Structure 1
Amino acid sequence: MAGSRSSTRLMGAYILFFVPFLALGTATSQVPFLMWSSERLPPLASPAAGHITSYEQLSAYLTSAFSSGSHTVLLFLQDKLSKDDFTVFGGAFGNKQDSAFKNLEAAIQSSSSSVTLPALEWTGSFDVAALLQEKLGVSPLLVDADTLSHLSIKTSVSNLLLINLPYCSSLQKSCKEVLHENDEIIGNALSLMKAKKVPYTAIYTGLRPSRVISELPVSDQSVGRTLQQTAVPDVKPPIIFNGSGGPCIMLWAQNLSVRLSQNSPWTDLAQETPSLSGSFCDGSTSQLVLTYLSGFNLSFVLRQRFYSVSARNWSILDTVELKYKNLSASYTANRSIYTPAEYSFHCQSVTNFGDALLFPKITDQNSSEWSLNFIDFQIQGFGLSNSTDFSYASDCASFFTPAIWMGLLTVLLMLLILVYGLHMIMQVNTMDRFDDPKGPTISVPQTE
Structure 2
Amino acid sequence: MAVLWVSDKPGAMEFLLILLSILCTGSCSGQVPLVLWSSEGYPLPQQNPPPAGHIVSTGQLDSYLSSALSTAPQNTLVFLQDQLSVDDFTVYGGVFDNKQDSAFPHLESALQASSSPLVLPALSWEGSSSILPLLQKHLGTPPLYLDPSSLEQLSLNASVAALLVIRLPYSPGSDPMSPKEALRGNDAVIGQVLDIMKTQAVPYTAIYTALKPSREAQEMSMGVQSVGRTLLQTPSSSYAPVRYPNDSACILMWAENLSVFQERDQKWTRFELGPMTFGAGATVTFDGSSCNTTRSRLVLNYQNVLGHQTFRLIFSMSRSFYKVSARDWFTLDHVELEYETQRLVFNGSRNIYAPAEYSYRCESVTSYLYALLVPSDPKDPLSSQWRVSFEDFQIQGFSVSGNNFAYASDCASFFTPAIWMGLLTSLLMLLILTYGLHMITQLRTMDRFDDPKGPSISVPQNE
TM-score, length-normalised on structure 1? Answer: 0.45
Larger radius of gyration: 1
